[in-house]
Amino acid sequence: MTTDDETLAAMAREAALGAYAPYSNFRVGAAVLGADGRIFTGANIENAAYPASNCAEATAVGTAVSAGVRQVEKIAVACIDAPSLDAAYPCGRCRQILSEFGTQRVLVTTADSDTREHSLEELLPHQFKL
Ligand code: THU
């Protein structure tokens, strides 16, 4: 992991503080690095109607894309409330969202604050694209 990766992972952890997660108490943050060098963060936003909730990755990617980003270089994801989980990996829907914007690398923070790096191809093989 490079220092840049560590910075992105720290930004994801920081972003998790903004989570609205009164139902799961599972605060997740994400930080997206766009191909143009800009970084956008986001957190999970839950809803009383559970399926109306947003994952942190979707919030961060949505913010980046709204600002003009069309290519995601990498994303860091961190959950700050799941010590029993080995690591909080992006859910299937978020993997598909990351695929849409050509995401190359996914950094996942583990419970012991280590960071694992994966390619999106590894996390989502045979990606669906139109
Ligand atoms: N969550 C994320 O934000 N990202 C993921 O990749 C997995 C799950 C959120 C959704 C929900 O608010 C909470 O974690 C528990 O599922």
Residue 3 has pLDDT above 70, yes or no: no
Question: Once rounded to an integer, what is the mean pLDDT over residues 21-36?
Answer: 96
Q: How many helices (H) and strands (E) does the chain have?
A: 4, 5
CA-nearest residue, atom 10 of ligand 1: 55
Residue located nearest, by CA, to atom 3 of ligand 1: 55
Mean pLDDT of 1-6: 80
Catalytic hit among 6, 14, 46, 57: 57
Residue 117 falls within a domain, yes or no? yes
Buried/exposed code over 92-110 (b: 16+ C-beta within 10 A; e: otherwise): eebbebbbebebebbbbbe
93 lies in some domain: yes
Report pLDDT digits (tens) over 43-81. Answer: 999 999 999 999 999 999 999 999 999 999 999 999 998
Span from the CA of 41 to the centroid of ligand 1 (angstroms): 15
With a 6 A CB cut-off, is 91 part of the ligand 1 pocket? Answer: yes
Ligand 1 centroid to 58 CA: how many Å?
10
What is the distance in A from the centroid of ligand 1 to the CA of 56? Answer: 7
Which amino acid would we find at residue 56?
A
Place of tokens 């143009």: 36
Please report, for the domain that includes residue 107, its CATH number.
3.40.140.10
Range(s) of the domain holding residue 88: 3-123
Question: Would you say residue 128 lies in a domain?
Answer: no
**Is residue 55 a part of any domain in this protein?**
yes
Q: Which amino acid is at 53?
A: S
Flag whether 40 is in a domain: yes
Number of domains in the chain: 1
Is the CB of residue 115 less than 8 Å from the CB of residue 9?
A: yes
- Is residue 80 assigned to a domain? yes
pLDDT digits (tens, 9 = 90+) for 35-44: 999 999 999 9
The DSSP output letter for 4 is: H
- Judged against a pLDDT cut of 70, whether residue 130 lies above it is answered with yes
pLDDT in tens, 84-112: 777 889 999 999 999 999 999 999 988 77
